[in-house]
Structure 1
Amino acid sequence: MMFDYFYGQQSEQFTFYRVPKVLFTEDCFWNVSTDAKLLYGILLDRMNLSARNDWLDKDGRVYIIFTIDEIKSSLGCAEKKAVKLLDELEKKCGLIERKRQGLGKPNLIYVKNFISGSVERQFLNCQKDNSGVVENTIQELSKAQGNNTDNKYTEFNDTDPFLSSDFPGKDSEGTGEFARYYEYFYDQLDMEYLKQDFKLDEEILELILRLIVETMCSNRKQIRIASDDKPVEIVRSTFMKLNSEHIRFVMDRFKENTTEVRNIKQYLLASIYNAPYTIDAHYDAQVRHDMASGKLGGRW
């Protein structure tokens, strides 16, 4: 079978399973097989669907149902291996927890937050070396900093309930949790490279990063997204899927916008939340447009 090359941004039209890099870089995961790490990425993807469907237990924890047959189908493996991979994730590294329902019902699977445990040591070690970076980047954004954004986009309105002074995320800026999430997303989103590409808009990039981290640290049950109150676990699950291309997409759409933005924080929060669900459709439409206009002529 012969496959063609990728041209331009065509690779962005697909969806992917995302396996956290820390599973390959942290020493505590060295004895976990690659297949088990891949399964964890698949379970993370399924967790987002569960959160959207309000599959929460009485403590507000998201659970999924992913049967042995589904694992066999997803990985193309035998039942014995599917069971072994689940055992690896639960017993070797504690990345999942299974709860029996009995009466022939499938187990509930709790996918554990890999940041709160194994990566904590890495973040704490980095904090001392990178403390100057963290302290500078989490400060209030300077209004004097130059950028190429129209003034109508820089009206920072703190009157909304999400980022008002009583928002729990603000109180957590000096905590280890805030620093850990900040370091994680700073690396996960390749902020250094984004700041190089958007040199005149570092202020907006910093605001985007803070919005993400404060959402992850929030102890509220719901977060306002585009006039709609969404369960915080759904928003967090979506944010864990973010990568640098999603932020680049948000920045490009933000700079293209010609309408007045009254509340830039709420505008960006909605854009960040929607990015994983709209980026594929956007680039797919762009590819179809380029093909129709002849820009991709002769390549197919």
Structure 2
Amino acid sequence: MHINEVKNNAFYQFPQWLLKEEPYKNLGDKAKLMYMLLFDRRTLSIKNKWYDDDGQIYMYFTNKQFMEELSCSEPAIIKAKKELTKFGLLKEVRQGINRPNRLYINGTKESSVQELNFLEVGTKESSVQELKKVKGINTNNINTNISILSNQQQEEVDEIRKSYDMFFEAFPKQRKNAFIQQDILADINEFGTELYQYALKLAMTNEANYPSYIERIFTSWRNEGITTLEQAKERQSKHSNSKPDKDYFFNKSSNAKPKFGPACSKY
């Protein structure tokens, strides 16, 4: 695949635990794809403020839309919904006649309570395993009888914790949950902690109220091929010198709320 195809194509996020973890890997293919579509639909939900007073996001996705997306019959859609409901991944709430049902999705039972717990209260030993899972660190040569991290690994864990804390410092209205943890780590995995923290600093400097602000930054960086902190700072410096009265990513003088970038399926 050519790099231009990667840049220009749109992709769905597919949670790996749907394929690897019990009991979720036993779901039917239609149910897994349905969850993937709902997982992606979170972007639209946040953009349209489709969330409850307690911050729980809901989606609108009719059976007809599912049938078109998955190329299957309505009985197959109903069966897939029942599977997701049985596994605790979907809750459907009726809204009345001629109104589409609200759809709420959940993460795994384990992730809802324990996923990425090293960010808050995890042990050093568990940090090794979790960091391996989310950042691809090769731990094959680590003596499993030794429960301490190398200096480099400990620094990486500390930087992820710092990024996590900075996110909620920048956006204090956001509720802590497994989905946000996953999304923070996905961004860190793509850009690294330095760039991620720099994006948060830009958000705080410009008094951004929405996590969509940093997604606009990430989208811009992707489009411009920015991969290092030096490149990001140089770009920001050039813009600040040319247009000091405007925020590059969002013009605060506008009354409009920031829109989510095309790559954002989260927060």
The TM-score, its normalising length taken from structure 2, stands at 0.58
Once residues 276 and 128 of structure 1 are traced to their aligned partners in structure 2, the CA distance between those partners, rounded to angstroms, is 33
Q: Determine if the alignment matches structure 1 residue 229 to structure 2 residue 204.
A: no
Q: Determine if the alignment matches structure 1 residue 85 to structure 2 residue 80.
A: yes
Alpha-carbon shift at residue 27 of structure 1 (Å): 2.2
Deviation string 1:16-44 (CA, Å, 9 cap, x unpaired) is 22211221122231211122111111111
Aligned to 1:96: 90
Identity of aligned residues (%): 20
| CA root-mean-square deviation | 5.0
Contact 1:246 1:275 in 2 (8 A): no
Alpha-carbon shift at residue 258 of structure 1 (Å): 4.5
Aligned to 1:136: 155
Q: Determine if the alignment matches structure 1 residue 255 to structure 2 residue 222.
A: no
Deviation string 1:247-293 (CA, Å, 9 cap, x unpaired) is 9944169627445288xxxx9x99xx9996379xxxxxxxxxxxxxx
Once residues 36 and 116 of structure 2 are traced to their aligned partners in structure 1, the CA distance between those partners, rounded to angstroms, is 22
Alpha-carbon shift at residue 83 of structure 1 (Å): 0.6
Cα distance 1:190–1:54, how it changes in 2: closer, same or farther (>3 A)?
A: closer
Contact 1:51 1:62 in 2 (8 A): yes
The amino acid of 2:30's aligned partner reads D
Q: Determine if the alignment matches structure 1 residue 26 to structure 2 residue 21.
A: yes
Aligned to 1:199: none
Once residues 206 and 137 of structure 1 are traced to their aligned partners in structure 2, the CA distance between those partners, rounded to angstroms, is 8
Once residues 25 and 89 of structure 2 are traced to their aligned partners in structure 1, the CA distance between those partners, rounded to angstroms, is 14
Residue 44 of structure 2: which of 46, 49, 52 is its match?
49
- Tell me, which stretches of 5 or more residues in structure 1 are unaligned? 1-5, 142-161, 171-175, 195-203, 216-222, 280-300
Alpha-carbon shift at residue 139 of structure 1 (Å): 3.6
Once residues 62 and 84 of structure 1 are traced to their aligned partners in structure 2, the CA distance between those partners, rounded to angstroms, is 23
Contact 2:166 2:197 in 1 (8 A): no
Q: How many residues align?
A: 213
Cα distance 1:248–1:206, how it changes in 2: closer, same or farther (>3 A)?
A: farther
Once residues 59 and 50 of structure 1 are traced to their aligned partners in structure 2, the CA distance between those partners, rounded to angstroms, is 15
The TM-score, its normalising length taken from structure 1, stands at 0.52
